[in-house]
Every structure is written in structure tokens, then in C-alpha cells.
Amino acid sequence: MRTVYWDYESNTVKLIDQRKLPFVYEVAEFADYKDVARSISEMYVRGAPAIGATAAFGMALAARQSNATMKHKLMRELEEAASILNAARPTAVNLSWAITRQLQLAGDDIYQSVDDVRQALLELAQQIADDDVELNRRMGFNGAELISDGDTILHHCNTGALATVDWGTALGVIFAAAEQGKNIHVLVDETRPRLQGARLTTWELQQRDISFDLIADNAAGHFMRTGQVNIVLVGSDRTAGNGDVANKIGTYKLAVVARENGIPFYPVVPTSTVDLLLAHGDLIPIEERNQNEVLMAIDRPIAPSGITARNPAFDVTPHRYVTGIVTESGIVYPPFQRNLRAAVEASQRGEWRQRN
């Protein structure tokens, strides 16, 4: 089962409603791209790669919904759909990356009829989704070289099959190490406020029978300082050209404390998440989400009524705290400015597909 996919019988976008996991497993179905945009902003689906694939399917859905018979009219509608989907969440670069690819494809003169465009958009969305799975597996086995038998891995947020189309990024490295037969243990940050670690990462590890303990985010420092963590693995929602990493709120604190204790800190990042045009991380827009996420745990109030909260969803980890970045093109080490560009270009040439 994939996190997001096109249903070729009903011609709808289907995705696992992750807001309800692990208590209810439910697949939501969307026949309107505006609802797909809402599913991204309301976090039915989250995780940069999954958001990218969802937006690509959303564009295919927008083309299918259109009544246009002339291509120039369809293009205007697709541009509007692109703008609505793009606004769903600001931080993950995969969102605009997938939408831009779809718009460019639709605009290509080789597609003359609206039906040609519809077909092309669906095919590219499907390819983005399929590529994501294959690429994640490659990335996972690249990163698994960093994991030794007996290691305890500290992990933040959810970066597994649910954050991608399937398999995962940082959690994909853990899955790969487990498939290699390595004896590993995972400390799972619960990841307030939305508890993606407590709800989703535990659920995925439980299904794969990998040893883990859930911890409060506050406890990560204690386990690092007392020698109980060998490596920290996280995802990334957008990585700047210099290696600065925007990821789920709390990542920055982990990185600082990891370096302070000599523990390697590796973001696991498909190159589609690398934004070479951004010189550094402080140029990355940080989404501030609804304060109710902080005032509640899942749907239960945890604080007095009538108070206010701040809720930045991401933070930026400057590259000086980053040991290396695991990509589908291999593990990238400093200087990131040069080496990340090389990894992105290698990926664009499709080199990762050619490895075994």
C-alpha cells in the first residue's frame, strides 16, 4: 500500500489519512484538486517527498476536472491549480518542484490536445511516485553503510513510508540496515506538537518488528550525553545549496547537542529536496502553523483556555552541525556548496538508477 496513489478505476487521488493514525487506518479519496490542496495543508499527508507526489497527482486531477477543450484555456486553469497547490504549505521544496515540472510538461508544444496534456500529466505524476520509491530504496542502502551492528539510532519526526510514497528517507536507512540483518535499536522522538514520531514512526517500526523505544523530545539530550546514541538520522523539507537544512521543529537542537557530544548527525535527503538556488538556510520560509496544535495533544486540550502559543513547524540547522547528507547519489560531505551541486547533477543524469 502506498501513502498516495492514483486510482485508475475511479480516476481519483487516494491517500492514507495520517491525522488518524495509529488509531484509525483510513484511505481518503479526492476528486477535486482543491481538496487535494486542503489534504496537504491539513496534513492528511505530510513529509516533503509525499507532498511532492501528492501535488503532482493534484495537477493531473486538475487537468481531468477541467472542461476546457482548447489547450490555452486548460493552461490557464492549470496555472490557477498550481498556485492553489503551491500555497498549501510553504516550506517543503518538493511541492513547488513537482508542480513546476508538471506545468513545464503541460506547456510543451508536443502536447497539442487537452487529452494529450491530461495523459502526460498523469504519466509524469505516476513516474514521480514510482521514482520516489526506487530512489528512496537506493538512498536507504547508501545510508545503511553508516550503521554498524549494535547501533542505537536517534530519529526525529516521521521519515518513513508515510512521509514518502513508500519506504522512506531517514527511516528508510533504518529499514535498509535492518534488512541487512544488522541488530539495531531506535530511540523515537515523539515530535511535538503533531507527534509524528509517537503516532507514525512507532507504527512503521512496529510493523517491521524493529526494536525501538519512544521518548519525549526533551529526553534526547540525556541519551546523547550519557553515551546511549551512536548516530542521529533526520529528514529534510528543504536543504539550501550550502548544506543548511530546514526540517521538523526540534531538529536544530538535536544537531547542536549531537555535535557537542561527538555524535554524527546525518540528514537523509533526496536531491529533489535540495534547493541549489538558495544560498543559505535563513532564506527558507518557515511555516508557522495554527497555535491549536501546541495547545492540544492530538485533540485534547493540554493548557488553560484563553492563552496563546507560537508554533513554528520547522527550524533551520546550519551546515556546520551537519556531518554529512545522505542522498540517492551517495553520501555528501563538506564542502557542501560544491558537493551537493555535484550530487544533484549526478541524480539529474539518472546515475543512481544505474547502480545495482
Distances (CA, A) of 198 to 145, 188, 189, 208, 319: 27, 7, 7, 16, 27
Beta sheet of 245-248, edge-to-edge order: 274-275, 238-240, 245-248, 314-317
325: nearest Cα among 256, 249, 246:
246
Half-sphere exposure of 201 (CA within 13 A, CB side): 34
Contact present, 234 and 155 (Cβ < 8 Å): yes
- Within 8 A by CB and 6+ apart from 309, the residues are 291, 292, 294, 295, 303
Residues that bind a second copy (CB under 8 A): 22-23, 187, 190-193, 195, 198-199, 202-203, 206, 212-223, 225, 248-250, 252-253, 256-257, 260, 286, 291, 294-295, 297-298, 300-304, 306-312, 315-316
* CA angle in degrees (0–180, nearest 5) for 36-40-41: 115
Question: Which CB atom, from 239 or from 271, has the smaller least distance to a second copy?
Answer: 239
Shortest distance (Å) from residue 178 CB to a second copy: 17
Please, which residue, 143 or 243, has the CB nearer to a second copy? 243
Nearest residue (CB) to a second copy, 68 versus 286: 286
Question: Which of 42, 3, 22, 12 is CA-nearest to residue 164?
Answer: 3
The nearer residue to a second copy, 64 or 208, going by C-beta atoms, is 208
Length of the chain, in residues: 356
Instruction: Choose the catalytic residue: 237, 244, 275, 315.
Output: 237
Looking at the Cβ atoms of 219 and 346, the one nearer to a second copy is 219
First to last CA, the chain: 24
Sign of CA dihedral 345, 346, 352, 353: positive
Euclidean distance between CA atoms 340 and 331, whole angstroms: 10
Known catalytic membership, residue 237: yes
Q: Kindly state the smallest distance separating residue 173's Cβ from a second copy, in Å.
A: 21
Shortest distance, position 311 Cβ to a second copy, whole Å: 7
Give 54-86 as a DSSP string: HHHHHHHHHHHH----SHHHHHHHHHHHHHHHH
Q: How many CB atoms lie within 10 A of CB 32?
A: 14
Residue 274 C-alpha cell reads as 535540495
Alpha-helix runs per DSSP H in 14-47: 33-41
Instruction: Please give the positions annotated as active site.
Output: 237
